[in-house]
Amino acid sequence: MSGTVSIRTYGCQMNEADSEAMAGLLEGEGWAVTDDEAAADVVLLNTCCVRRHAEERVWNALFALRARAAEGGLIVGVCGCMAQWRGEEIVRRAPHVRVVCGTRAFARLPDLIRRAAAGGAVVDVGEGGLPAGPLPRTRRGALKALVPVMRGCGNFCAYCVVPYVRGPEESRPPGEIAAAVEALARDGCREVTLLGQNVNGYAAAGVPFAGLLRIVGGTGIARIRFLTSHPKDLSDGLIRAIAEVPQVCEHLHLPLQAGSDRVLERMRRGCAYGRYRALVVRIRAAVPGIAISTDLMAGFPGETADDFERTLGAMEELRFDAAFLFKYSDREGTTAAAMGPKVPPAEIAERHARMLDLQSRIGLERNRERIGGTEEVLVEGPSARDPRRLFGRSRTNRRVVFEGDGALIGTLACATIRDATPLTLIGAPRAA
Ligand code: SF4
């Protein structure tokens, strides 16, 4: 069976990587993957359910496809986390959905579509491990690539659905990852991001994540990034690898979530604030100039005004280079959903706004510290806001916009920084 298929991706970079893998699998079976959803024979939504809002967006998108599906011919599929979480419920609420493919059933996706085309709806939220050998994939951006190194998570933080929808941790063999990165480098890719829900828990063939970074550093790739690190598993060996492997960029995403030990304990994070702070001190000493970004949450059940002040205090003390700031929302089935007392939504919104204000100031201050310095930039293309300028990311993962020749696109260029906003460095080019 063949035709055209479009894939719409919601959520995190792991979902983006899964969508690439799905596209690769389907292309291998003769499907043409298209961005033109209106003309596609099959529309797949690769979904996220980490926050309630993410699920609502998917339900709205599904209902918007109902009329087209009713005309006949179109196969609508739901894949990924929400498919795993909701299963049959999706077909009950949206009977025009013909394929539900959970996170561990991706390898069976072409077959599920074939069966749905024969009539009826097919739901597969069954088990399946990582496929043997590298997944076929279709890369959208030649310069940068996402490389999943592991799947799943066994941490069960109280607010998080990931362990329920993605299953336990499972690591890909280091040789397979190295071969995939080598092939990418040969193909002109300059930067890979190694992905996992908790890459610090990576372990395969006796190789920990620090060892994997050293192996990938020898593949010919110019830059290596990785996401996400859990502070409780961040070893000194990993800090040494970040410092010693020249291809590893000076950026670490290290979710803190809250500044209050009482809240961190209720979240089951397994890392008190003092230990987190000591880690940050060690990392900054070992890797001068490293950027540290984080995740923080406002309004976890039982968070008092005093607890929240501790989160603001942590932000002031640690001065993160960037922070992803979230409002807590209940996810049914998680431990936190059953916890009380709930913080009123208006209070959560106010706390969230205070975090945004504070991070905006700190982000600007951190970026201003770079003025006068030189940044190595992987030039991705023209700036979306001002096509006369170029856009890229520095090694510390900062957005950099600078004036330069279009011939620099695809290269590692140097820019001298002359101005800064909270989220962007503005530079002039310099001879590399
Ligand atoms: S470490 Fe915690 S927050 Fe991260 S995916 Fe696992 S359970 Fe969720």
The predicted-structure confidence for 116-129, as pLDDT tens digits, reads as follows: 998 889 999 887 75
Residues whose beta carbon lies within 6 Å of some atom of ligand 1: 153, 155-157, 160, 162-163, 197-198, 230
Q: What is the 3-state secondary structure (H, E, C) of the chain?
A: CCCEEEEEECCCHHHHHHHHHHHHHHHHCCCEECCCHHHCCEEEEEECCCCHHHHHHHHHHHHHCHHHHHCCCCEEEEEEHHHHHHCHHHHHHCCCEEEEECCCCHHHHHHHHHHHHCCCCEEECCCCCCCCCCCCCCCCCCCEEEEECEECCCCCCCCCCHHHHHCCCEECCHHHHHHHHHHHHHCCCCEEEEECCCHHHCEECCEEHHHHHHHHHCCCCCEEEEECCCHHHCCHHHHHHHHHCCCECCEEECCCECCCHHHHHHHCCCCCHHHHHHHHHHHHHHCCCCEEEEEEEECCCCCCHHHHHHHHHHHHHHCCCEEEEEECCCCCCCCHHHCCCCCCHHHHHHHHHHHHHHHHHHHHHHHHCCCCCEEEEEEEEECCCCCCEEEEEECCCCEEEEECCHHHCCCEEEEEEEEECCCEEEEEEECC
Q: In this model, does residue 21 exceed pLDDT 90?
A: no
pLDDT in the model for residue 140: 53
pLDDT in the model for residue 135: 54
Q: In this model, does residue 136 exceed pLDDT 60?
A: no
Q: Domain 374-430 belongs to what topology?
A: OB fold (Dihydrolipoamide Acetyltransferase, E2P) (2.40.50)
pLDDT in the model for residue 342: 97
For ligand 1, pick from 162, 229, 232, 295 the residue to mutate: most ligand atoms within 8 Å of CB: 162
For ligand 1, pick from 15, 150, 155 the residue to mutate: most ligand atoms within 8 Å of CB: 155
Q: Domain 144-368 belongs to what topology?
A: pyruvate-formate lyase- activating enzyme (3.80.30)
Identify the band that residue 12 occupies on the pLDDT scale cut at 50, 70 and 90: confident
> Domain residue spans in the chain?
4-124, 144-368, 374-430
pLDDT in the model for residue 24: 86
Identify the band that residue 71 occupies on the pLDDT scale cut at 50, 70 and 90: confident
Identify the band that residue 138 occupies on the pLDDT scale cut at 50, 70 and 90: low
pLDDT in tens, 262-319: 999 999 999 999 999 999 999 999 999 999 999 999 999 999 999 999 999 999 999 9
Residue nearest (by alpha carbon) to ligand 1 atom 4 = 197
pLDDT in the model for residue 429: 65
For ligand 1, pick from 15, 48, 153, 296 the residue to mutate: most ligand atoms within 8 Å of CB: 153
pLDDT in the model for residue 151: 87
pLDDT in tens, 313-365: 999 999 999 999 999 999 888 999 999 899 999 999 999 999 999 999 999 99
CATH architecture of 4-124: 3-Layer(aba) Sandwich (3.40)
Identify the band that residue 386 occupies on the pLDDT scale cut at 50, 70 and 90: confident
In this prediction, residues 42-62 reach a mean pLDDT of 91
Residue nearest (by alpha carbon) to ligand 1 atom 1 = 155
